[in-house]
Amino acid sequence: MDLHLLDRGRIHADLNFALDGTAVAAHSDPNPDLEYAEFAVWNLVVDHPEATILWDTGSHPDAADGYWPAPLYEAFAHPDAAERDLETALGEVGLAVDDIDCVVQSHLHLDHAGGLHHFAGTDVPVYVHRRELEHAYLSANTTAGGTAYLESDFDHDLNWQVVDQHRHHLLDGIELLHVPGHTPGLLGALLERDGENVLVAGDAAFLEANYEEGHSMGASLLYDSRAAADSIEFLRDVERRHDARVLYGHDPDQFERLRGEF
């Protein structure tokens, strides 16, 4: 089972979103400097003997050209979304959209579901957790739910495959894991490979510090903070049992290290 990490560009945002309270006003320092940071956006191709699987589909190429609503773009800018579109990134590992047999959506936020339009009208199965699909439609159509869902990303004629279980066997050596918190239906995965197992934590931990140091993500990135903490504990347990390398959701330093390897 080979892995290819796809570079889908960088999101620019206040570091406080990913690391809660990195800059907080205090009596002795009423105007601390905020840190504007870059976050990696990646997809993963899992080259399994039975199927070529795409993990997430990244941002829509027009994200910076008005496709993402202005208030969201102000908070989470993705200036290279067009330059780093799915076809370009797949091409760099010798693949085309037609080579993808199966898609797994970790969740349906706009920096993860913006390439689903490539699979509209095809029979390519698209795996998603039931709670995520429900939450995405609720969020897009009511004032309840979250703001980072665009119906135009996911409301397509897709061959949805709905995951209900806490742990879902996808193929030999690939298990999907329900790790709610960042969103209600967030999925991670355990990939059991010759040599090294990989645990995809994804947006359960934006950065290494969320996982390794237990540094909480900002409140606006947590649908359910209690569930998010439980999911980190669950992932740590899986990591220990399987001696796995953990893959974080948007860590730019880890991304740079890994792309030489995967």
Tokens 């979304």, residue located: 81
Angstrom CA distances, 52 to 32, 45, 96, 115, 209, stand at 47, 7, 11, 16, 31
CB 234 within 8 A of CB 187: no
Question: Minimum distance between the CB of residue 28 and Zn ion, rounded to whole angstroms?
Answer: 35
Residue 71: how many CB atoms within 10 A of its CB? 9
Of all helices (H) and strands (E), which one includes residue 163? Answer: strand 159-163
Identify which of residues 48 and 59 has a Cβ nearer to Zn ion in the complex. 59
Among 203, 216, 227, 235, binds Zn ion (CB under 5 A): 203
| 251 is an interface residue for Zn ion by CB under 5 A | no
Which is closer to Zn ion, CB of 1 or CB of 126?
A: 126
Q: Could you give the CA distance from residue 68 to residue 73 in angstroms, rounded to a whole number?
A: 6
Smallest gap from residue 57 Cβ to Zn ion (A): 12
User: Mask 72-111, x = binds Zn ion (CB under 5 A)?
Assistant: ---------------------------------------x
Q: Identify the sign of the CA torsion 223, 224, 225, 227.
A: negative
**Residue number with CB closer to Zn ion (111 or 153):** 111
- Contact yes or no for 114/58 (Cβ under 8 A): yes
If the CB atoms of residues 48 and 178 are measured against Zn ion, the closer one turns out to be 178
3 state SS of 189:
strand
Query: Which residue, 48 or 182, is less far from Zn ion as judged by CB?
Result: 182
Give min distance, CB of 110 to Zn ion, in A. Answer: 9
Number of residues that bind Zn ion (CB under 5 A): 2
Q: Which residues pair with 36 in a beta bridge?
A: 14
Q: How far is the CB of 255 from Zn ion (least distance, A)?
A: 13
- Contacting positions for Zn ion (CB under 5 A): 111, 203
